[in-house]
Amino acid sequence: MGERLADVRAPTLVLWGGRDEKSPRVLSERIAAGIDGAVLREIPDAGHLSNLENPEEFNRSVRTFLDQVHGTTTGEQEEVS
């Protein structure tokens, strides 16, 4: 997995649902680590379908990332380490 991740040049947000049992966090970590500058965020109280299971947090994470990419400041969120 990931032999082409280094080819990705677009700003990249990797989201992982904190209760995702289909894709372990380590897979999301590998994806984020393989893409230069990628950001990994955890969506709490969500599984594999985080956009449906916690839409408020999902949307906030996406808005914050887009704000950072575009240099705006409409949202604030810390990175998950």
pTM for the full predicted model: 0.83
- Residue 72 confidence (pLDDT) above 60: yes
The total number of residues written for the chain in this structure: 81
Question: Are 39 and 13 contacting, i.e. CB atoms less than 8 angstroms apart?
Answer: yes
Consecutive H or E run containing 35: none
- Count, in order, helices (H) and strands (E) of the chain: 3, 2
The domain segmentation of the chain, as residue ranges, is 5-70
Question: Each residue of 15-70: pLDDT tens digit?
Answer: 999 999 999 999 999 999 999 999 999 999 999 999 999 999 999 999 999 999 99
Known catalytic residues are 48
